[in-house]
Structure 1
């Protein structure tokens, strides 16, 4: 089997899908990774993977440039003649699927982690694009050889309600997977009533709840509650919701948080903190929470799609209302004041991460889906019935 994996950044392929690509390669399959150019392409090649850059601009609205990109993809797929195309994020799902159809490739898999800027933003540009993208999605995701991977039950219900895809073609695979063994030796959280080290690790986007995190830090500081509020991550200029670096530096200058920038070794960072938070507005299934859970850290996140797939309130973490910095502050203080409770949450989170979110589970289910579409038709009927999503 030959597969093309298509993402909107080389960073995404390296951080979230390299284990899948390497597993496919070890199983004897041919894999080509494609994305816009970037510094992680060479890292993928250093792993022995094939990677090619694309002339793609994520925020482009230029019709001629977008048509040129689509034609570039069609020619690439005709040259490569893969058995299937697997696209990640909404733009790659649309372009990859349309190009695959035009190139005569029937097996098309698309993994959409959340609804993306076009469907979640209230900005005029997003509202203008929404009906266009909806129509393109119906076209791209349709057909007998198409499958849609969603990461949480809320998105499954949303896609079904919007009638964007045949419900029979939806598969629920929770996240991109985390190598839980990598985080197994991280020491237990040190919630002992002293100065608490709290971490938010994310792309610096407004819809990750960074503003609410800053508000919670300010509130706790005013109350005399000693915490170190850490922020790890960099801005994403290709995303309309990106937070300007000047804004982040302003928060640092006022003492609201410590900005760590990009952190390569997340296991070491997680081993140095006591609580991980993610006050996001909506997620597919947040990897940062799963990595923290694998470390046995107590989690605080918002009661929104994606986040509540990882955290059950009071069992393996705490859920707070979205866009509520005060509630986030209370949750952080609760874990600071009750270290035994925090440790119980962390231990339960670790058990859940290993049982549900380990990358071996995700890769196995993804490769089963590849086999469902690429094996002879007479063999695929049984596996299709077995793999069908149940509600």
Structure 2
């Protein structure tokens, strides 16, 4: 095999390591040179141990300063011209926009993967409007644009952000390793644990989760509400540590910090919750369903891809703490047999629709089609 060079660019190395490890294992096992380009974090070391080359990139996710974004673009252009990757995959908004432009300038083929639309389609700010204009410009250049769900694809089509609609494809999530996340029996104990896993952002519905917890704890003292994930991240919707400490002091939630391995915490929970405003296809919900945990999530793009309402969990109304509390109460008051049935159906759904092996095969086929190099 020719010495294949593949680069993956994202606003966090953690996301590459956490969500695309199966892809990285496949590429490195077949002798490809894999470069991860992202801000440095604690996952640089395990990525290097896997055989990847890591390049630190400054991305100001919160900033709207064009000078900082220009530095990101120029840094990517310099890297692409120096290393000449056969194909680059860009993830998240700024990597998608400035990476796609840099790849075009360097004459390097690229694919843009929209992992979720985030504030660009949730908010109606000037920054969101500028982001859409930049998408319209940048998405002229990738060989393909991948979406994780049909609703996001349709949103881009409706806004006329795709210069080449024929290059857009739906990946239907990036899959989960069914061996790494095995089905696990429900815990046997007196209390009942709801857990929300992810970056602590207002857009993830954390406020609704806290409000629902406050309403339910008065009636159900054995119900516990946990938050797991980083606070104060580089995102316009970030929640601060001060907010979390306030909720802790009032006894509303338990904050678990961050975890390198979420599996023990999923296994220790009775229900995984995600009242997000919009998602790509949320990895935490796929992992939860794979391990046999029923889910309560919002009836929005991404979440409804994973949760079959009243079958594998419950879907609640967007931005409604009252409806979320109603669905959490419904989950809490189910019999153990009814929750077990949901758990098994969730696992079966993940096996049918979200097996990581299928996604890795899609990457492999695309890499061959664009580069002519077989893996």
- Normalised by the shorter chain, which TM-score bucket? over 0.9
Please give the per-residue CA displacement for 1:209-241, whole angstroms capped at 9, x wherever unaligned.
Answer: 111111111111222453011111111431011
Corresponding position of 1:265: 261
Give the structure 2 partner of residue 110 of structure 1. Answer: 112
In 1, Cα distance between equivalents of 2:194 and 2:221: 12
Asked if the contact 1:231/1:260 (under 8 Å) is kept, the reply is: yes
Query: What's the CA shift for 1:286?
Result: 0.6
SS in 1 for 2:230: coil
Distance 1:373 1:189 in 2: 47
Query: In structure 1, what is the equivalent of residue 330 of structure 2?
Result: 334
Partner of 2:88: 85
Ranges in structure 1 where 5+ consecutive residues have no aligned partner: 380-391
User: What secondary structure, in the 3-state scheme, does the structure 1 residue paired with 2:216 have?
Assistant: helix
Post-superposition offset of 1:36 = 1.5
* Distance (Å, rounded) in 2 between the aligned partners of 1:367 and 1:142: 23
Q: Give 1:68's aligned residue.
A: 71
Aligned match of 1:153:
150
Corresponding residue SS for 2:15: helix
Tell me how far 1:185 sits from its aligned partner: 4.7
Q: Provide, for residues 308-346 of structure 1, a one-character-per-residue CA deviation record: whole Å limited to 9, x for no partner.
A: 000111111111101111222222222222222221111
- Matched residues in 1 for 2:199 and 2:246: separation? 17
Please state whether the residue corresponding to 1:25 is helix, strand or coil: helix
Match of 1:384 in 2: none
- Which residue of the partner structure matches residue 388 of structure 1? none
Query: Residue 216 of structure 2: which of 213, 220, 236 is its match?
Result: 220
2:123 aligns with one of 121, 124, 130: 121
Q: State the Cα distance separating 1:48 from its structure 2 match.
A: 1.8
8 Å contact from structure 1 (residues 150, 172) kept in 2: yes
Is the partner of 1:148 in helix, strand or coil? strand
- Conserved 8 A contact 2:119-2:128: no
Any idea what the Cα deviations from partners look like across 1:80-123, whole Å, max 9, x if unmatched?
11111110011101111100111111x2101111112233224x
Indicate how the Cα distance of structure 1 residues 208 and 65 shifts in structure 2: closer, same or farther if over 3 A, else same.
closer
Q: How many angstroms apart in 1 are the aligned matches of 2:7 and 2:263?
A: 30
1:96 aligned to 2:94? no
Q: Is 2:248 aligned against 1:256?
A: no
- What is the SS of the residue equivalent to 1:164? coil
> Contact 1:276–1:298 (CA<8 Å) still a contact in 2?
yes
2:323 corresponds to 1:345: no
Deviation at 1:180, TM superposition (A): 1.5
Q: How do 1:359-378 residues align onto structure 2 when only pairs under 5 Å count?
A: 359-375=356-372
CA contact 2:22–2:177 (8 Å) conserved in 1: no
Q: Closer, same or farther in 2 for the Cα pair 1:330/1:68, shift >3 Å?
A: closer
Deviation at 1:347, TM superposition (A): 0.8
**Does the aligned pair in 2 maintain the 1:152–1:305 contact within 8 Å?**
yes
SS of equivalent to 1:180: coil
Corresponding residue for residue 175 of structure 1: 173
Residues 19-98 of structure 1 correspond to what in structure 2 (within 5 A)?
A: 19-98=22-101
8 Å contact from structure 1 (residues 22, 49) kept in 2: no
CA deviations over 1:170-214 (Å, ceiling 9, x no partner)? 111122221111221522355x8x421111111110111111111
SS at match of 1:372: helix
* Offset of residue 370 of structure 1: 1.9
The one of 355, 358, 362 aligned to 1:358? 355
Matched, 1:2 2:5: yes
From the superposition, tell whether residues 81 and 251 of structure 1 become closer, same or farther in structure 2 (CA, over 3 Å). same
- Once residues 67 and 148 of structure 2 are traced to their aligned partners in structure 1, the CA distance between those partners, rounded to angstroms, is 33
Once superposed, what is the RMSD of the aligned Cα atoms? 1.8
Which structure has the highest helix share of the two? 1
Match of 1:298 among 294, 298, 321: 294
Q: Distance in 2 between matches of 1:234 and 1:139?
A: 32
TM-score by length of 2: 0.93
Match of 2:282 among 280, 286, 299: 286
The answer to whether the 8 Å contact 1:196/1:336 transfers is yes
What secondary structure, in the 3-state scheme, does the structure 1 residue paired with 2:144 have?
A: strand
Cα-to-partner distance string for 1:62-88 (whole Å, 9 max, x where unaligned): 333322321221111011111111100
| Count of aligned pairs | 369
| Greater mean deviation of Cα atoms: 243-252 or 163-172 | 163-172
Aligned equivalents of 1:28 and 1:17: distance in 2?
A: 17
Q: Deviations 1:244-267 (Å, cap 9, x if unpaired)?
A: 111111111111011101022211
